[in-house]
Amino acid sequence: MAHVGLDGAWLRVNDKVCEIVGYSRDELLGLTFGVITHPDDLESDLAQAARLLAGEIPTYSIEKRYVRKDGTIVWVKLTVALLHGGDGKPRHYISVIEDIAAQKQAALALRASEARFRAAVQAVDGVLWTSNPAGEMVGEQPGWTALTGQSLAEYQGFGWSRAIHPDDAQLTLDAWQMAVGEQRPFVFEHRLRRADGEWRLFSVRAIPIQSEGGGVLEWVGVHTDVTQDRQDEAELFDSRERLGSIISQAAVGIAQTDTTGQFLFVNERQCAILGRSRPEVLAARMFDFAHPDEQSENVARFARLIETGEPFAIEHRIIRPDGAAVWANSHVSLVRDRAGRPLYVIAVVQDINERKYAEAALHQLTHRLENRVTEESAKRELAQAQLIQAQRLEAIGKLTGGVAHDFNNLLQVISANLELLRPLVETAGSKAKTRHDAAGEAVRRGALLTRQLLAFARKQALEPRVLNLGRLVRETAELLRRTLGERIEVEAVANGGLWNTFADPGQLENALINLAVNARDAMPDGGRLTLEVSNAFLDDRYAAAHEEVTSGQYACIAMSDTGTGMDAATIAHAFEPFFTTKPEGHGTGLGLAQVYGFAKQSGGHVKIYSELGQGTTIRLYCLAIVGRRRSKWCQMQAPPPAGPRPSWW
């Protein structure tokens, strides 16, 4: 009970009110009833209080909700009267508050139960009927009448059994009486004649409704037509039998798993692909046999399949018990139930191990063929470029040789006439003598130019000797140290066991000096010049890649500098006569041409290795004399003349 002011403030409350709303007395006396009234109930409560205050009604009683201190809701029955003072004016409200939460919950539960029962009756796919505790039909059964066409008089008691097929009637009655006697649910199937006269197969299910004392109040049952279901099941069984036979004899592996990848079914071919027995496979998951490098990817694909339902195909490796990895191609798809929920996964697996090995072998063969074609094409292009270069140098050589011969003939005439004029010039005075000497110097320089041209054209007169290149290089290095200057450091290296060679020592020394002069010009700020002598063998492959090179043994002089180097375009023209990168007036461009001509005329070979900013190495290969054998080229040369020889002969 509570006293509430006209302004809604709590004035007096007893312990029961505090217990109902969850507030202490002190807390409650500082509030108004509107503060703890549920918002949805406040308006109706205030309206009734206004009517009471206006004298329209003597009291009012309503059901409403309070919001307890802990935030929970409590239902109460509120009865309110108005207390007047001695002057007849209203003083405050007197409220009787009754907790009806339990009654409300019971009423709600009852309504929910009734609603569920009505929904269940409506949802039943069949005919609902009832019977008394003894199993007899009593009272009106409209559903049964509509189903069988029997009247009330016909189905009363056990008359309902006359609508059952004669072959099933007694079996049904016996099973029904047993269930009634044992007070347990009754489940049965029998044939029943419908109102239209057709016999149909029905599933019967009945349950006893128990009383509080444990007895049976009545039976509630339902008849459901399952004729089509059983026909479908029979057809499905036959279909499954046929499908099972097909699957078991399939040439591909077929597997069924649940949505976690656990195997549910595998055919014989799948077991053969996995290399395991059926019990071993059914105890595992789909990913357990995957190659370690592919396991995480397979798990991720499976998870996406379950999430999206999108099928996928994948080529993957399977690890067999012996550790062997075999290739398989799997097509994996998801099967859903009628509600769209993932049901299970089907995988069709094909062994592609032989195909994979064949593809790998074909790929390797193709790769080797492509590499071979690339190499051969590169060789052909290189050989063609070298052939063109050699043909160009050969053409230049022939032209140069012809010009040199004609030029030499003219120089011989000029030189002879200058010799005839010498006595006359001696008496003609100093001016004539000066001009005569200048002409003679020009003839001498022309003769030197002619020899250089003839050297490139391979037509110079050679006097080959058996040489020890180690001694020749060391003595040439001493000469170069004196002539190249202090800014060029010259180093000579001669490996042991050097083969002798057969070459013109003077022309070879001249070739080395030409190379050294070019190296000096490439090192304007000074640097290092290294001469290294070693034995070398040029094989058939190298000879095939370089025009006019014969495979065999050579004595090699490698001259390396630390100069500016050359690019590929410069190297391609370096041996051409009159080609030079020096400023005008600082070189004739015949130095390397003379070296090239000497090497080729001597049956040898010369090769440039250079990069811009990395210096240059020029290798001069001379035919070697191993033991007492000489090459065919050496035997064709003139024998060495008698007379004293330098130490390196």
Note the pLDDT tens digit of each residue in 183-224. 999 999 999 999 999 999 999 999 998 887 888 999 999 999
Residues 6 or more apart whose CB falls under 8 angstroms from that of 9 comprise 29, 31, 32, 33
Task: Give residue 85's pLDDT band: very low, low, confident or very high (50, 70, 90).
Answer: confident
Q: What is the pLDDT of residue 575?
A: 81
How many C-beta neighbours within 10 Å does residue 39 have? 9
Tokens representing 532 are 């290294």
Residue predicted with more confidence, 18 or 429: 18
For residues 320 and 415, the model is more confident at 320
pLDDT value at residue 346: 93
pTM of the model: 0.37
Residue by residue, DSSP assigns 426-478 as: HHH-HHHHHHHHHHHHHHHHHHHHHHHHHHHTT-S----EEE-HHHHHHHHHH
Residue with tokens 């062994």: 351
User: HEC string of 504-572?
Assistant: CHHHHHHHHHHHHHHHHHCCCCCEEEEEEEEEEEECHHHHHHCCCCCCEEEEEEEEEECCCCCCHHHHH
Average pLDDT over residues 356-380: 88
Lowest mean pLDDT among 52-61, 189-198, 637-646: 637-646
Q: What percent of the chain has pLDDT over 70?
A: 85
Q: Is the pLDDT of residue 648 over 50?
A: no
Higher-pLDDT residue of 523, 384: 523
What three-state secondary structure class fits 77?
A: strand
Distance CA 191, CA 172 (A): 10
What confidence tier does 460 reach under pLDDT thresholds 50, 70, 90?
Answer: low
Q: What is the pLDDT of residue 398?
A: 57
Give the tens place of pLDDT for each residue, 122-149.
556 688 899 999 999 998 999 899 999 9
**Alpha-carbon distance 546 to 600, whole Å?**
12
476-517 pLDDT tens trace: 888 888 888 888 999 999 888 899 998 888 888 888 888 888
pLDDT at residue 213 in the model: 80
> Distance from CA of residue 144 to its chain's centroid?
68
pLDDT digits (tens, 9 = 90+) for 408-433: 666 676 777 777 777 777 777 677 77
Q: Where are the beta strands (DSSP E) in 100-141?
A: 127-131
Residue 95 has pLDDT above 80, yes or no: yes
The Cα 138–Cα 158 span in angstroms is 10
pLDDT attached to residue 330: 94
Pick the more confident residue, 38 or 645: 38
Burial of 548 (0-12, 13-18, 19+ CB in 10 A): middle
pLDDT band, very low/low/confident/very high, at 590 (cuts 50, 70, 90): low
Read off φ and ψ for residue 85, nearest 5 degrees.
Answer: -85, -175
Provide φ and ψ at 525, rounded to 5°.
-100, 15
Written as six digits, the tokens of 275 are 């290399």
* 587 pLDDT tier (thresholds 50, 70, 90): low
| pLDDT interval class at 638 (50, 70, 90) | very low
- Which distant-in-sequence residues (6+ apart) come within 8 Å of 227 by Cβ? 200, 201, 202
Q: Which tokens hold the place of 221? A: 């049952």
Enter the tokens of residue 329. 């191609």
The yes-or-no verdict on residue 635 having pLDDT over 70 is: no
> What is the pairing mode between strands 500-503 and 552-561?
unpaired
Spell out the long-range contacts of 102-107 with Cβ–Cβ below 8 A and sequence spacing 24 or more. Answer: 103/75, 104/63, 104/75
Task: Answer yes or no: is pLDDT of 72 > 60.
Answer: yes
